[in-house]
Every structure is written in structure tokens, then in C-alpha cells.
Chain A
Amino acid sequence: MTKWKQNKEEYSSFRDPSGKIFFHEREIFRGINSIYQKDYELLMSSGLYDGLVKAGLLIPHAEIPIDEFGPEERQNFYKVIKPKRIAFISYPYEWCFGQLQAAALATLTIQKMAMEFGMSLKDASAYNIQFQQNRPVLIDTLSFEKYHEGRPWVAYRQYCQHFLAPLALMSHTDIRLSQLMRIFIDGVPLDLASSLLPFKTKLSFNLLSHLHLHAKSQKRYADKKVNFTTRKVSRSALIGLLDSLESATCGCNWRPAGTEWADYYEDTNYSNSAIELKKKIVGEFIDEVKPKNVWDLGANTGLFSEVVADRGIPCVAFDIDPAAVEKNYRQALASKKLSILPLVLDLTNPSPAIGWENKERKSIIERGPADAALALALIHHLAISNNLPFGKIAEFFSFVCRTLIIEFVPKDDSQVSRLLVSREDIFSDYNQETFESVFGRFFSIIKAVKVGDSKRTLYLMRKNDGL
């Protein structure tokens, strides 16, 4: 049994007593324990499953006859289901404000719908939500239990810590505080959120209650014996509570502007024709490679991710700036380019593996490699601003993709001159020849095209075999 677990089980699944995610011949399955049988059957028969799937809120699945599996599965599970696979797994500390808010509201909508069908969510963890076609969807099918009128919502604390606290902090204190989700594996502790939020948040009934007073209550009653059986929360009171949480969640707002990169395309001296030409060249490279998926590194507002998306190829668009990612997210939704998934990522300090044994949530490299990666107008930021040698950059790219479309920006380009204005020029190796030779250790250069009148060059490179 231990050996099976080590080989096949999805590690983060260990906390769930209702079932386990496992892999079988590179496909993902969820085994359901017999302890969960009644709730699962209620989920399917009550109409809740159909309602949620139709609304695009729950990941659909197919039931697989248990005979198709080996004796271990037959021994452990009463049933096996095959959920639809999520194209790219992302985590709440990688989401922009809009995505976290959408995930929060989806959770509340799911809970309200569940109650209509006589069920309730057992947990409101942000890790139960993934983005499919840039929309939030619940992936933990076994998160539902029968609703017993009178019982309070067991997931209330988790909702406040995973969703409401980080949203309030991002909205009222600093947008970068979403990174607290990386440090605290079960959401932001409410006493920490309460101490970081400005005083004005205590003037709002919803935030005062669900965050500040809630935090005080946690401290007050910690380790105290409370008689659980005599308390009652009626159905309408619980609906009122959910409405209040929804109001608090919607009340958090954030406008993407004023950060370093938010207005990049307005500030630079990119002419329209230069951008169009670059888009054309990138498009031709993509058409030649025909990748199954693309990572756009340093995507900013997704100008070039659109080139990928227009060809129907799923694209994950990473950028360090939360404002740029937020703009990308809103534009992608508005223009219905749903195959773009914008995420916040600092390439010089990308998402690590965290959680128990550092295995519950995967690092960014573990979630790759991508078929192709775009590294446009990026190399000078890594090499000069961040003092990374070409060799290290090339090696990292070889970990995350099989084909690389990269733009070399020479020292006499205006953007690079800007970086060197207040910095000693110790970058004697920063030139095109060294770039080509160092990258040549990891990649084979298939094409090199000068971008019109600018001094920049676009490369199409393929990772060397045997790496």
C-alpha cells in the first residue's frame, strides 16, 4: 500500500478523508472512499452536480467502472471518477486581484446553490478552485456534504482566511500582500490581517465583523470548551451570512494603475508599426512550431499572448507586475480570449514548492515544461537589472520549455540605455555574439530575424536533445 501511494498518489490529496487523487497511465483519477458514498450519491442524484456543471462552476467527471483498475484500487475505493483535466494548475498566490475575487464569489455561489439542493460545502479553500478558460471552477468534487438545517457553515473560517482577508489586504493595504498566501498554507491568519488593515476598514460593517471581530473571537475562544450541540443557525440566517460575505467580497475593489509596469506600452517608444511587425514575426514562428501550449514569460498586458491565443493555442501569461496581470485578465475576459491564463510570477524568485514536505503545492518548474515559451523584451531585465549571466538564463529556459522564442535587446537600444543610466556597466559580456554562443549550449538557433528598423533580433530556438 505504501509503495502504491508513493508511485501513484497526488501528494496534496492526503488531507482528504473522502477520497484520493491518483495517476494511472498518465491520466488523473479520483478514487472515492466508501465513507463518502452517501454524500456522493446525493450530489449526483439531487441535481446539484448537473446544476453546477451547467453553470460552469464544477469540473465535470466521468464514472469509471472499478473493474478497470487493479486490486489495490478495488480494495481502497468504492468508486473511481475521472475529472476533466485542468490545462494548467495555478495557486492563489499567483492570481491577480480579479481572479481571487472571481474565485471567492464562485465559492459563495456554489455554496448557495448547494443549499438549494440540500447540500453544503465542507471547505472553502482557495486551492479547491482552478481556472479553466480563465474562469474559476471547483475541482474538489468530494467537498460537498448533506446540509443539516441548524448547523453553522463549517467552512466560514476558511472562507474568511483564504478569500476575504487577502482581498481586503490587497484592496486596502497593498496589492502585493497576495503573497501572504504563499507563506500561510491555510490562508491569511485573521489576527495578522486585522493588524495590517487600515482603521477605515473598521468603519465598514462587513469587514469589521468578518475580519476584525472574527479575529478577536478566535483569540477569545481559543482552547475553550464550547457546547456545540445547543447552538443553532437557521437556514435563513445562514443565507444572510452568505449574502453578507458576498457583499464584503464585492466591496473590495482595486484599480490596476500606478505600478511600475502598468503603463509600459504607453511609456516606451514602441511605434504601432514596430509592434505589428513583431507580432507578425512571432506569429510566423508559432505557426512553424505549432506548439500545444505556450508560456509567455514577462507577458505584461498580454499583447503577444494574444498572438498565441488567436491561433487557438492555450497560453499562460506570466508577469511580475500585478497591475499588468490584472489588465491582461480583464482584457482577456472582455475580448473573450479565454485561452489566455494571466498569472503573477517573479521569474527571479518563482513560486516554490510549499506545504507539508514541500510537496503539497508544486513549484513552477514542476508544472512545466511548456511546449514553447516567449521571452520577448525580457533578456535585458534578467541580465542587466538582475545581474544574471546568460548561461544561467539559458539553463532556466531549457528547464521550462522545449522551443524558445526570444528577443535579444542590444546595449545601444534605448530601453537598455535606460537601465544603465544609474548603474556601472559591468556587463562586458552583454552582446549578441556571446548571447548566441552561450544559448547555443542549450538550444539550437533555427531562425534569427531582425525586427525592422530597431536593433533587436527575434530568435526561434529549439532545445538540444539529450538535455
Chain B
Amino acid sequence: MRKIRWFSPNLLFLLLIFLMMPKKVDAYIDPGTGSYVFQIIMAAILGSLVAIRMFWKKIIYFFRKVFSKKSKNDQMETK
């Protein structure tokens, strides 16, 4: 998986959420609910990162096509 910078906007947002809502409850009482909620958040983030990656690939592919067309036109003009 591509390395994600820790100060990425997603992460800061997540950190902010958790930091703003401190609560002291011992996790042994019920660790299941927290894990459940967290997994949903994580899966959403990871799923969206995968989608963004696919989206970026499309953009880069699009630009590559545009630039290669441009250079082909330049070549044809100089000839």
C-alpha cells in the first residue's frame, strides 16, 4: 500500500475528532463497540483512498494522452 503522510488532511481530521472528545472509560467494559465504529471509519477512509488513487490514475492518464497528442502535433508541424 502506498505510504501515506501522517499529516494528510484525512488523518488530521480524524485526530481532531478523537482529541476533542476525551472520555475516560475502561476499555475492558466493552471494547467491541469502539472497534466496530472504528473499523467503519477506517474502511471508509481506506476505500476512499483507493477510489482517489484510481481517480488520480485517470487524471494522469488523461494528461499523458493530451501531452502526447500535443507533442505529436508539434512534430507534425515542424515536419
Contact = CB atoms under 8 A, between A and B. Distances in A.
A216 B50 contact: no
Tell which of B23, B32, B39 has the most Cβ of chain A within 10 Å: B39
Tell which of B18, B29, B43 has the most Cβ of chain A within 10 Å: B43
A191 interface: yes
Contacts of B49: 240
A63 interface: no
Interface residues of B, number: 35
Contacts of A216: 18
Given A189-B28, A214-B38, A226-B36, A205 B23 contact: no
Contacts of B9: none
A105 to B, nearest CB: 15
Interface stretch (A228-236, A282-290, A374-382, A393-401): A228-236
Contact of A221 (B15, B24, B33): B33
B11 A224 contact: no
Contacts of B50: 236, 240
A233 B43 contact: yes
A446 B18 CA distance: 69
Contact of B29 (A152, A220, A222, A247): A222
Interface string B32-55: 111111111111101101100000
A237 interface: yes
Contacts of A234: 43, 47
B67 to A, nearest CB: 31
Contacts of A206: 1
Contact of A203 (B6, B34, B36): B6
B28 A220 contact: no
Contact of A218 (B15, B35, B42): B35
A109 interface: no
Nearest to B50: A240
A157 B27 contact: no
Contacts of A222: 25-27, 29-31, 33-34
Contacts, number: 117
Contacts of A223: 25, 29-30, 33
Tell which of A156, A218, A223, A240 has the most Cβ of chain B within 10 Å: A218
Contact of A237 (B1, B6, B34, B44): B44
Interface residues of A, number: 42
Nearest to A160: B35
Contacts of B65: none
B35 A205 contact: no
B79 interface: no
B6 A208 contact: yes
A416 interface: no
Tell which of A152, A213, A232, A237 has the most Cβ of chain B within 10 Å: A237
B22 to A, nearest CB: 8
A220 B6 contact: no
A156 B3 CA distance: 22
A240 B28 CA distance: 28
B14 interface: yes
B1 A244 contact: yes
Contacts of A160: 35
A237 to B, nearest CB: 3
A152 B40 contact: yes
Contact of A219 (B1, B6, B27): B27
Given A213-B18, A220-B34, A221-B34, A205 B6 contact: yes
B76 interface: no
B32 A243 contact: no
Tell which of A216, A224, A226, A236 has the most Cβ of chain B within 10 Å: A216
A244 B42 contact: yes
A8 to B, nearest CB: 32
Contact of B33 (A203, A224, A237, A247): A224
Interface in A167-224: 189-191, 202-206, 208-210, 213-224
Contacts of A153: 39
B46 A217 contact: no
17 contacts: A157-B31, A157-B39, A205-B11, A213-B15, A220-B18, A220-B23, A222-B25, A222-B34, A228-B36, A231-B36, A233-B40, A233-B44, A234-B43, A237-B43, A237-B44, A240-B49, A241-B43
5 closest A-B pairs by beta carbon, nearest first, are A237-B47, A218-B34, A157-B35, A217-B38, A240-B46
Given A215-B27, A222-B29, A223-B33, 17 more contacts: A152-B43, A160-B35, A205-B6, A213-B15, A217-B34, A218-B33, A221-B36, A222-B26, A222-B30, A223-B30, A226-B33, A226-B36, A237-B44, A240-B43, A240-B46, A241-B39, A244-B1
Interface of A: 152-153, 156-157, 160, 189-191, 202-206, 208-210, 213-224, 226, 228, 231-234, 236-238, 240-241, 243-244, 247
